[in-house]
Amino acid sequence: MAEVPEHLLKRSAERRKALGLPGGEGADDASAEAAAEAPTPAAEEAAPIAASVSDEGAITEDKGGVPAHLLERARKRKAVLAGEDPGATAGGGGVATATKVAPIAAPVGTGPGGHTQRLLTVVKSGSIQQTRAEAQDKVHTWPHLLVVEFAAALAMTATLLIFSAIVRAPLLGLADVNQTPNPSKAPWYFLGLQELLTMFHPMVAGVTIPGMGLFILMMAPYVDSNPSNKPNDRKFAISLFTLFLMFWSVLVIIGSFFRGAGFNFVFPWNDGIFFEL
């Protein structure tokens, strides 16, 4: 239990002494003041007596802006609670016609074990009320995202397994150093670069154009930093990637199906397809 400050104990003792109550260090001044202000049966019985007392010495003038009737009522009440004649004047004048009222026992606000009850600290309502998080257009990585990705990986693995078991895709024969294939084509994912070599200088086709494309793709997230995943809000990013994908796809298709012997441009429906997986 917290220690009661010395000045509060002193004030409590003075108050209890003024009310004629037994003093004590464990008494709380708040209890004494509450007892002084709370109406009690004894005070109610003393009210008729106070009404019959002579009105000599009654307060009839306002003081400090306080109405006279309020000052008079406060004087009579203090006199009744102190067991004195409420009709007496402030200087001791007046005729005492009422018997002395017995001192009123002030109730002591104690709890179990005699512990004095005190007021709790006022707590802000925001700290005890339940807060509700605002709805956000986000989901947790686990399990929402990883479960979908794991299911997609399993589906792709099963598809490749079934495809490799059904479709027969044998390897080509051993390379012959005395016979170079005509045309000699790179794998399909490099045919775009090989197609560029037929149009530009090797430095431009092999370094400058691919480097610029990769640089633009790396800068795209910083140019378009919109966090929305809706196509209507990401027109720049979607347009840039679509342009890149179409450009590279056209080069791969031309190199695969429209290049024949000597890597010359041919029509596949006339000269056949010079491409093998």
| Domain extent listing, the chain | 6-118, 140-170, 182-277
| Rounded Cα distance, 160 and 202, in Å | 36
Distances, alpha carbon 11 to alpha carbons 30, 96, 102, in Å: 10, 31, 23
Contact 55, 94 (CB under 8 A): no
Winning range, highest mean pLDDT, from 76-85, 102-111, 125-134: 76-85
Quick one: tokens of 88?
Answer: 């007496």
Phi and psi dihedrals of 110, rounded to 5? -120, 150
| Rounded Cα distance, 49 and 79, in Å | 12
| Rounded Cα distance, 200 and 182, in Å | 22
- Determine whether 252 is exposed, middle or buried from the number of CB atoms within 10 Å of its CB (0-12, 13-18, 19+): middle
When pLDDT is averaged across residues 4-20 and rounded to a whole number, the result is 82
Q: How confident is residue 27, by pLDDT bands cut at 50, 70 and 90?
A: very low
| Rounded Cα distance, 40 and 144, in Å | 69
CA dihedral for 193, 195, 200, 202, sign (positive or negative)? positive
CA within 13 Å, CB half, 223: 13
| Rounded Cα distance, 101 and 99, in Å | 6
| Rounded Cα distance, 238 and 253, in Å | 22
Concatenated DSSP letters of 4-36: PPHHHHHHHHHHHHHTTPPP-TT--HHHHHHHH
Q: What is the pLDDT of residues 111-165, one digit of tens each?
A: 555 556 555 566 566 556 666 667 777 778 888 889 999 999 999 999 999 999 9
Contact 195, 255 (CB under 8 A): yes
**Distance in Å from the first CA to the final CA of the chain:** 87
Question: What pLDDT, on the 0 to 100 scale, is given for residue 86?
Answer: 62
- Above pLDDT 70, what percent of the chain? 68
For domain 182-277, which architecture applies?
Orthogonal Bundle (1.10)
Question: What pLDDT, on the 0 to 100 scale, is given for residue 159?
Answer: 97
Range from 65-69, 182-186, 207-211 carrying the lowest mean pLDDT: 65-69
Range from 22-26, 38-42, 46-50, 200-204 carrying the lowest mean pLDDT: 46-50
Contact 196, 209 (CB under 8 A): yes
Q: What is the pLDDT of residues 91-105, one digit of tens each?
A: 444 444 444 545 555
| Rounded Cα distance, 84 and 98, in Å | 9
Q: What residue type is 111 in one-letter code?
A: G
The 3-class secondary structure across 123-180, one letter per residue, is CCHHHHCCCCCCCCCCCCHHHHHHHHHHHHHHHHHHHHHHHHHHCCCCCCCCCCCCCC
Q: What is the pLDDT of residues 29-48, one digit of tens each?
A: 444 444 445 455 444 544 44
Residue 276 has pLDDT above 60, yes or no: yes
Phi and psi dihedrals of 63, rounded to 5? -135, 125
CB-CB neighbours of 79 under 10 Å: 19
